[in-house]
Structure 1
Amino acid sequence: MLITVEVKSPPENHYVIVPKRNSLPLLISNVMGTGPKCILNIVNDTGLHVKIKKGSCLGYAEPVDEILDDNLSTKDTYSIKQVHLPPGNFFDQKDKPLPDHLQDLYDRSITNLKDDQISTLRSLLIEFEDVFSKHDLDLGCLTAVKHRIDTKDSPPVKHRMRRTPLGFQDVEQEYLTKLLAAGVIQPSTSEWSSAPVLVRKRDGSVRWCVDYRALNDRTVKDCFPLPIIEDYCDCYNAGADVENLPCKGCQYCQRAHTQWSRFLNDVDDVIPLAKRQVSPLEVKIVSVEENPNNQSDESVTSSIQGLQASSFNSADSIDHDMTQPNTEEDTIHINWMQSYSPQQLRQLQLQDPDLFPLIEWIESQYDPSDAELRLQSPATRALRLLGSCLKVIDGVLYYKWINQSERKPCLVVPSSLKSDVLLHCHDSKVAGHLGQQKTLDRVKQSFLWYHLHSDCINYVKSCHICNQNKKAHINPRAALSKFHAGCPMERIHLDILGPFNTSESGNRYVLMMIDQFSKWIEMAALPEQSALLIAQKFVVHFIVTFGCPLEVHTDQGRNFDGNLFKALCEILEIAKTRTTPYHLHQMGRSRDITQLCCK
């Protein structure tokens, strides 16, 4: 494709057009020419539609010192073998002026630079001057990707224009003209329309904010899954030495180690999650070494108990997991139930009427009949169905998994410990108040009891902290919407101001009545905010003067939402509405005017 370009400040004699690097995804040939205009040959091999804005810089004109020519056929036709350019290349921009929009950036950047660095910076700014925007509306144009919004078969969304304040009408028209002239926006006849709102920025200028929420609700979201850190590295254990890991301390493990160290310092009573294990045999050896003298077995035993007791008080020590069988092959793990010994757990299970028969049957290897099972509680019968999975180890009843030797047995929890288990698996600092399913999965890893699922779900549902800080995942029955009044007396807002200092007439409160459309305000003084006085003042000060409105909107105060005021609205055929809980902004301008009046 041949296009005619204009050369600014062309040399007197011949020159060569040298294409600019990284300007456009196009192939531009080197062309020699004279005069202010030249013809370039441009090839688009990308297969995409590329736009060239008017005034774009495509290259630089370098003067020619000498043309080595053998045959001159015509005046304008040359058979050129070689062209000598002056020393340097087209990146040397010392003699070219710096664009005006880059002068401020250049002056601020050369403060601490050397002469050669200043020259390099000047050349770079001139070479890539089109990368920098000249003004706020110079946004550029990217044609490499064509954006599409997939709405499937949804009907078009049409929003009516919001009313522009009188003080903003001239500013909005001026801003609209600038956007049209700069090519940022263009006239459209699409069936889709979203309402813009003109807002003022901190520097005093204005900009448009467009409400695309309705369009976003109908848009099919693109799926760009983020990589999971475990896919890259999962060899880090909290508290472990980073240098001894298989990855030798990659960036993911370094970041995890830093975050864990910061968390360990901030929360001083947290139990480390590192799986550092010490066998009971090693504990005995340490105890013997600490008793070099020939002592009795009782002193050695007391030394072992003292060592274990001291380990319970240390945050970095290894404690015995009382919920697991105490055998030589098992390792000692940290657990919040360290205060319960196997004897205490057995005693609690024997005191539970649901678990006591099971322990007796298993220890005596007795197989109860159907008649005996029917006399037991539902919990006993349900646990009995587990059969050979129930084991008594060290006198404690456990549930042992079938064909899953790597999984540890689950403690069958007595009724007196259920609340403690749920408390530590959900409310503790390590638990973190997880949701219903995650808390249930955590409990099922180590514990078992009858109705575990329902007890865990009900506990999470009744958690005060979760209900106060977490949002519900179930959408409300009806989405909140905005009410736009179209005429005066269509909707009246009522609100109470006070209490104030008692006036000479004995009044302490003010009844405020505002028309939503016209913002007209009427006020009436009240000695108290009773429903009877509010109804009287509303009739005398508003209805008698202006007539009955179509609708009255109030908050959920009992003086407005009681039977008396509802009966008044029903007699006068006025629709009565109220705000939604925890959404006081539905009172509209009345809340703003209330705060203004209180000041």
Structure 2
Amino acid sequence: MKVCRVSLNQNVVIPSMTAIELSAMLEGKVNSDICIQPNQKLNGVIMPYVVTTPDKTVPITIRNLTDKNISLRKCTNLGTAVEIDEVLEKHNPEQNSITVQQISKQDRNHRENRRFNDLDIGHFTKIKHRIDTGTSAPTKERMRRTPLGADLSSLPYKGCAYCSRAQRTWGKFENDVDDVVPLAVRSIQHQLQDDISIQESNWMKGLSFEDIKKEQEDDPDLKTLIHWLHTGKPPSEHELQLKSPATKHWWNCKTQQLKFVEGCLFYKWLDPIEPRTLCYFLNP
């Protein structure tokens, strides 16, 4: 089995969040089909495993996972090409059905060893072994607790004397105590119906909704955000990365906290002191 390096034959610049296909060269000679194993030490990029025929150049795919362009120089080690013995072009059409039948048969033969519900706590007897602990005493396992309210007659061994006594002693605890004295206090906060009807503000005298709407549409960041929300077509990840930090921040809030009122874009949140919804318009 022959092994050789796979390296770049040219300088390459990979844009951010982009996958490119190119050709690389083999630094050796092989006689059969090869499997290209990617170099795990390349930072910021990933490559898939490739099975191909040997030639002076071989096809590869490289993907940039970062938000910056990555440059790879000529002769960069991209991975290792390893000869493979055989490529199975056609699979056995009966292989899948044979495997399913075998698993089904094994499942039927060993159903007694499987656990089907929480109360199925039978004993496993197929494997017997002894652990030599030397002069030390063996470790005792904690006793399995039978769930409160369980019907002892439904258990595999109908309940031993100890389990029956524990059931009689603690069985009524669930009804007499757990249901009477709550062990935790539930806190429920009801969100009031959103009622955003803003007519004027004590620090916005002289500006109508039309004025605010026009100012928002003239702002370069809010203009892009409003366009995305109106069209309903989300930007691509690459397009979003090119926008300003403010645009990216408000776009991440689009689902729950951005709302149009009278054509103006507002940001809303819950008042931490009083159970009410507050909002303010996005100032250009």
Greater helix share, 1 or 2?
1
User: What TM-score, normalized to structure 2?
Assistant: 0.28
TM-score (norm 1): 0.14
Name which structure has the greater RCO, CA cutoff 8 Å, separation 6+. 2
